[in-house]
Each structure stands twice: as structure tokens, then as C-alpha cells.
Amino acid sequence: MAAVPFLDLKRQYEAIRSEVATRLLLTAQSQRYILGPEVDGFEKETAAYLAVKYAVAVASGTDALILSLKALGIGKGDEVITSDFSFFSSAAVIPWVGAKPVFADIEPDGFNIDPSKIEEKITKKTKAILVVHLFGEPAEMEAIKKVAKKHRLPIVEDACQAIGSEYQGEKIGGIGDVTCFSFYPTKVLGCFGDGGLVATNSNAIYNAVQDLRVHGAKKNDDRKTIGTNSRLDEIQAAVLRIKLKYLETWIAARRNCAAEYRKLLAGIPVQLPEDKKHLRHTYNSFVIKGEKRDQLLDFLRQKEIGAAVYYSRPFHQFSCFKKFVSKKEIFPNSVTAAKTALALPIFPELTGQEIETVAAAIKEFLRS
């Protein structure tokens, strides 16, 4: 059997190589590197794509989250509820702005926050709900919005893995109060380094994030607030504007890969990601759940098939977060996910043959 890469970015680069070369040369010739026409154009095009009023490009997805929390005035003495299961950044940004992360368990069948576990975590100090759309699958926003509305809490969305994902026909981006995206190279829309974006329909949040990314609000030579330096480079914006044109095609290709996996893996004793009718999952990752996960990972690696564990540890078990968790809190579903989740190769250029190779190897493992 031939080797299958977990991710091969070179295939995508081949398709856009000449366009990128031309555009990058133009940026070099212009010598405009910071907050110029490419960032401006990218923000407008992305806002239109997401159907939101405002988009602000920043230096990373992590910064998008930090600046969003800051824009909402969240800091010391505040609590923010988030999922117990995600990439480290989804939780770490909360103590980074001085607030306390409060973890809620995920759904038993999926990887997103369980809306029915949120309300019991709300206290007088709760200032926001930070929802993660993990692996490209939207969280159950209708139920989450109901809780948020009842308690008058803003919703911050970590859509770093979910650009182009849809909930009830609506793009993730304009559903909550503020939504954060990442353009880290391995994401569905990736640049040539780090990059991020804040999307919102709120004029106040938009203005605040715009100020925060350039050291704070300036008037004459005075400053009323303190921000940081967090901008997307012109070079990254130029790359992203080219890639944005292909995004829908690439998402369709990812969805085809997922459908192919589901067909070939049907009926075997692993839990496959579902393609729910009211959602458009964009398959930033295709993550299965199964027993003997670690043995399966070893087996695939021996066959030179790329696979990865996302994520091996729920947040409440991290040393740096332990002080925020009480002994009474339990998280059975995130604990199970951390033991059973395995990400298989998925990217737009993955071939049918490669998917067959992966599926055959998994079946061979389960027979042995």
C-alpha cells in the first residue's frame, strides 16, 4: 500500500502558484506592508463572504480571541464559559485576559459544547460564553443562544476551524456577537504564516478591535486605551484574497472526501462524524472515535498513513487550568473523546485512491 500524507499543502500550492507569484511581487514592488490595500480588500471580501457587517484582520486566531474578549471588556474577576475539549488556545485566551475559564462538557456523540451543560456553570461573574465550532462542525447555536439570551450573555465564537461552516443555512460569523477565525496554514483557509480575523455585526466591537490591534484608541497624540500590535501583513492578505476565491470549491472537495470515508467505513465499530441536515460541516478535520485508538494510530503509522490525535487531553486536566476546576465538576464526554478521537487525512486534493487506502487499513486493523 502506498503512503498517505496527513496533509499535503504542496498540492494546493501547485494550483495557485503563478497567481501567488504575481501578487506577491506586486506587494513587494509597492513596499506597502502594513494595513494597505490588500488587508482592506481582504476584510471587505471576507465580510461579504461571511455576510457580516464588519471584519478586522489580525495577527492570528489567538489574537482574534484575545482582542474580542478585550473588546467586550472582559478581564479580572470575570468568568467565561467554554468547551472542555478544543485546541489549547480556546481556553488559554481567557486567563490571558485575566478572567477565569469555566469548562462545560461536550456532547456524547460529537465534539462540541453540550448546550444543556452551560446553564449550571453560570454565576454572577459570568461575562460571556465562548463557543468553539470544532473540526469545522458548527455547535448547536439555537440552544446556546437561548441560554445566552436568558442570562444576557454575549457569545464569542471560536470559528478558527470553521470558516465557511453553516448553521441552519447561515454562515458561522454573524450568529453570535463576535466570531474569530484563524488562517494558520493547516486550516481550511490558510495563509503563508500566521493570520486571523474578527467578524462582527456590532459597530462597538468593530471599533474596539480596530483600536486594539494598533495599540489602542488614538486621538491627536493622546491615547485613551491601551492595545497591542496585532495586524495581518499585506503579504498574507494578498495570499488569502487569492485563496478565498477557491474556498467554496475546496470545501466541496473536503465534503466529498468525508462522504467517501463514510461510505467506505459504514458499519464498522467506530463512530464517524455525522453530516447533519441543519449544518454544513467543512471538515477542517475528519475525526473518528474508536476503542484501541492508540493501537490504531500505531498501525496506520506503520503503514505510512498520516493520522493524529486531536486532542489527547481535555482542558480540565491541564496543569495550568487545574486551579480553575473544582473537584465536583465532571466531564465524562470530553474524557472519552480524549481517549478515543483520531483524525484521518483530509484535504481538498486527497484522492479517492488514498481514501480507499486509509479505509482499507482501518478495516484490516479492526479484523486483526
What is the binding site for ligand PLP (CB under 6 A)?
60-62, 86-87, 89-90, 132, 158, 160-161, 182, 184, 194, 196
Q: What whole-number distance in Å separates Cα of residue 110 and Cα of residue 317?
A: 20
Compare residues 279 and 361 and give the one whose CB is closer to ligand PLP: 279
Compare residues 195 and 227 and give the one whose CB is closer to ligand PLP: 195
Whether 358 contacts 345, CB under 8 Å:
yes
The least CB distance from residue 302 to ligand PLP, in Å, is 28
Which residue, among 167, 228, 161, 177, has the nearest Cα to 53 in the 3D structure?
Answer: 177
CA–CA–CA angle 277, 181, 279 (5° rounding):
5
User: Whats the size of the chain, residue-wise?
Assistant: 368
Compare residues 61 and 154 and give the one whose CB is closer to ligand PLP: 61
Whether 168 contacts 139, CB under 8 Å:
no
Place of cell 487550568: 321
The least CB distance from residue 66 to ligand PLP, in Å, is 9
Compare residues 33 and 96 and give the one whose CB is closer to ligand PLP: 96
What residue type is 252 in one-letter code? Answer: A
Whether 229 contacts 213, CB under 8 Å:
yes
Phi, psi of 193 (to 5 degrees): 165, -140
The least CB distance from residue 246 to ligand PLP, in Å, is 20
Q: What whole-number distance in Å separates Cα of residue 138 and Cα of residue 161?
A: 10
Which residue, among 259, 263, 255, 274, has the nearest Cα to 109 in the 3D structure?
Answer: 274
Compare residues 60 and 333 and give the one whose CB is closer to ligand PLP: 60
- The CB density around residue 19, as the number of other CB atoms within 10 Å, is 16
Compare residues 89 and 357 and give the one whose CB is closer to ligand PLP: 89
Query: Which whole-number Å values give the CA distances from 174 to 61, 164, 247, 360, in the listed order?
Result: 17, 12, 18, 40
Compare residues 140 and 158 and give the one whose CB is closer to ligand PLP: 158
Q: What is the DSSP string of 94-163?
A: HHHTTPEEEEEPBPSSSSSB-GGGTGGG--TTEEEEEEE-GGGPPP-HHHHHHHHHHTT--EEEE-TT-T
Q: Which residues pair with 344 in a beta bridge?
A: 286
The least CB distance from residue 87 to ligand PLP, in Å, is 4
Compare residues 160 and 296 and give the one whose CB is closer to ligand PLP: 160
The least CB distance from residue 158 to ligand PLP, in Å, is 5
Q: Cell numbers for 70, please give them.
A: 478585550
Compare residues 54 and 87 and give the one whose CB is closer to ligand PLP: 87
The least CB distance from residue 319 to ligand PLP, in Å, is 20
Compare residues 82 and 200 and give the one whose CB is closer to ligand PLP: 82
Residue 286, H or E segment: strand 286-289
How does DSSP classify residue 57?
E
Whether 186 contacts 306, CB under 8 Å:
no
By beta carbon distance, the residue nearest ligand PLP is 61
